[in-house]
A and B are shown apart, each in its own frame.
Chain A
Amino acid sequence: MNAPHTWRQQAQRYLLEGVQCTACDHRMFPPRAVCTECGAASMRPHRFCGGGEVYSYSFVYHPPAGHEEFAPYPVALVRLDEGPLVAAQLTDVATDDVAIGLRVEMVTRRVREDSADGVIVYGYKFRPAIPPARR
């Protein structure tokens, strides 16, 4: 990934920023221009809270180029508390603890190997949610 590509997605990668439809309030991640529910084309930014639960998961044993150093690693579809699904890696979790329904929260991590032009690619991953009392 080159520098401008990484740079222009900062709000999505670091803040989990999507959009909310101004007509019907439907919330979407990633951002898009046209609402998937009502078809309106009027959006405002919406930052997701980062909480959710595992909807489906897998373990990648044969990674694509750029991810070899992390393999094997868990990936999941996470159902965010506000509704959308997001595809991401899981982190800080024991293999046996990964399950559908696991409560998770978004954290910022290196998501792939550093690019040839020196950019360290940070982004969102999800880890098991830490209960408030233990924070």
Chain B
Amino acid sequence: MSNPGVAIIGVGQTVVGEHWGRSLRDLAVDALLSAIRDAGSPRIASLFVGNMMAGELTGQAHLGALVADFAGLRGIEAVRVEAACGSGAAALRLGCMAVGSGAADVVAVVGVEKMTDRPAAEVTASLAMAADGDYEARQGLSFVALNALLMRRYMHEHGVRREEFAPFCINAHRNAVGNAHAMFPFPISADDFSRARMIADPVSLLDSSPVCDGAAAVILASVDTARALGRRAVRVRASAVGTDTIALHDRGDLLELRGAVTSAARAYEQAGVKPADIDFFEVHDAFTILSVLSLEASGFAKRGEAVRLGLDDEIGLDGRIPITTMGGLKARGHPVGATGMYQLVEATLQLRGEAGANQVRNAELGMTQNIGGSGATVVTTILEAVA
């Protein structure tokens, strides 16, 4: 069902990067307090914390109580939400349900991930937990390898060359230059892309989002409460979760992200809009192949044709459908459980007209899509600027 009455009244984010000096709780509290300040410091009733790997990489569970405690919110309702790389937007979805149902008046949602404390092989093994543990991860398939299987099959079926994926990476890096919170605020060239070393063939370093730390948060309230507080609000027109098989090998059709098809269709229905109405789209570009499959599943390109959107420069800030407007997962960074929240913070800034050099002109309707695993959980959110 739709959430016609829910608004985002505050946002906060940390810089994405390798935060050697800052802990999981430091990052979460930083983003959360920024968002609360941005919202005019309302009283928070509930907190949802999106996170994937705190147990594996920090040795910390129970993040709801931890973050509430250290943010000075002791006593409030607080729980952690986990849906692999989709944890952030899944937490937002629960926040919307809490406000939309009237269960809570003002809700805080924070996504956080701390990945850089552990060696690469451990992080790789933890990320693989997003897949089927027994029948993918333990067979030696890394999470990158699963995306490589998708990309290889896509290239085979649609006759696409590896170099043709380059515009997605180039666009993300170009947009990160204007984002003060991005991990990689520098441009890359088509040459850089074709020379990048392989992680899991045909997925190269420049197809892949980085291991990093970060946290991002929003404050939700009913539209009426937002008005009473006198806050500049962005309305949540839709927030929808779709699921698919946990394992790639159980998909009837490998190249159709069924979870994204379902999630996007539900979101369009909730909002009463169609793809052509969307002014910009924050895609989940954990790997370039996911941008392509996400654009196709969400109705922005026909099957096998999303690569053309990149080649024809339709995805830039002035293009037909701007994507990854602040750098995306590739260049802003992908602190896994925080990523969905970064997308939502960035979309909110676009719709408030505060995206600086990266402002999409006349942006009124923005969409984000946060993907867990290889597409097993997909959360699509549609936001609207409110005058």
Interface string of B159-185 (1 = CB under 8 A from A): 000000000000000000000000000
Which of B72-80, B82-90, B198-206, B377-385 faces chain A? B198-206
Q: Is B141 an interface residue (CB 8 A)?
A: yes
Q: Is there an interface contact between A56 and B125, defined as CB atoms closer than 8 Å?
A: no
Across the two chains, which residue of chain B brings its CB closest to A80?
B249
Across the two chains, which residue of chain A brings its CB closest to B150?
A56
Q: Which residue of A30, A77, A111, A123 has the most chain B CB atoms within 10 A of its CB atom?
A: A77
Q: Is A70 an interface residue (CB 8 A)?
A: yes
Q: Is A59 an interface residue (CB 8 A)?
A: yes
Interface string of A65-77 (1 = CB under 8 A from B): 1111010010111
Across the two chains, which residue of chain B brings its CB closest to A84?
B249
Q: Is there an interface contact between B135 and A30, defined as CB atoms closer than 8 Å?
A: yes
Q: Is there an interface contact between A62 and B139, defined as CB atoms closer than 8 Å?
A: no
Known: A65-B125, A85-B249. A59 touches B200 (CB 8 A): yes
Q: Is B61 an interface residue (CB 8 A)?
A: no
Report A-chain residues with C-beta under 8 Å of the C-beta of B124: 62-65
Known: A58-B149, A77-B249. A63 touches B121 (CB 8 A): yes
User: Interface residues of A, CB < 8 Å — how many?
Assistant: 34
Report A-chain residues with C-beta under 8 Å of the C-beta of B198: 59, 61
**When chains A and B are docked, how far (Å) is the Cα of A127 from the Cα of B120?**
29
Q: Is there an interface contact between B149 and A64, defined as CB atoms closer than 8 Å?
A: no
Q: Is there an interface contact between B142 and A60, defined as CB atoms closer than 8 Å?
A: yes
Classify the interface of chain B: helix, strand, loop or mixed. Answer: helix
Q: Is B140 an interface residue (CB 8 A)?
A: yes
Question: Which of the residues B146, B199, B247, B248 comes within 8 Å of A62, measured between beta carbons?
Answer: B199
Q: Is there an interface contact between B135 and A58, defined as CB atoms closer than 8 Å?
A: no
Q: Is there an interface contact between B156 and A100, defined as CB atoms closer than 8 Å?
A: yes
Report B-chain residues with C-beta under 8 Å of the C-beta of A60: 140-142, 144-145, 200
Q: Is A15 an interface residue (CB 8 A)?
A: no
CB distance from B150 to the nearest CB of A (A): 7
Q: Is B19 an interface residue (CB 8 A)?
A: no
**When chains A and B are docked, how far (Å) is the Cα of A68 from the Cα of B124?**
11
**When chains A and B are docked, how far (Å) is the Cα of A86 from the Cα of B203?**
21
**When chains A and B are docked, how far (Å) is the Cα of A100 from the Cα of B157?**
11
Q: Is there an interface contact between A87 and B247, defined as CB atoms closer than 8 Å?
A: yes
**When chains A and B are docked, how far (Å) is the Cα of A25 from the Cα of B96?**
43
Q: Is there an interface contact between B140 and A89, defined as CB atoms closer than 8 Å?
A: yes
Question: Which of the residues A58, A65, A85 comes within 8 Å of B122, measured between beta carbons?
Answer: A65
Q: Is there an interface contact between B136 and A87, defined as CB atoms closer than 8 Å?
A: yes
Q: Is B344 an interface residue (CB 8 A)?
A: no
Report B-chain residues with C-beta under 8 Å of the C-beta of A64: 121, 124-125, 128, 137, 140, 142
CB distance from B207 to the nearest CB of A (A): 12
Question: Which of the residues B136, B138, B139, B203 comes within 8 Å of A58, measured between beta carbons?
Answer: B203
Q: Is A122 an interface residue (CB 8 A)?
A: no
Report B-chain residues with C-beta under 8 Å of the C-beta of A108: none
Across the two chains, which residue of chain B brings its CB closest to A88?
B139
Report B-chain residues with C-beta under 8 Å of the C-beta of A61: 197-201
B-side residues, CB < 8 A to A, are 120-122, 124-125, 128, 132, 134-142, 144-146, 148-150, 152-153, 156, 197-203, 247-251, 254
Question: Can you list 22 A-B contacts with CB-CB less than 8 angstroms, sorted by A residue number?
Answer: A36-B250, A55-B254, A57-B149, A57-B152, A58-B149, A60-B140, A61-B199, A63-B124, A63-B140, A64-B124, A64-B142, A66-B125, A75-B141, A75-B145, A77-B149, A84-B250, A85-B249, A87-B141, A87-B249, A89-B139, A100-B152, A100-B153
A-side residues, CB < 8 A to B, are 1, 9, 30, 36, 55-68, 70, 73, 75-77, 84-89, 100, 111-112, 121, 123
Top 4 closest pairs, chain A to chain B, by CB: A58-B148, A85-B249, A64-B125, A56-B153
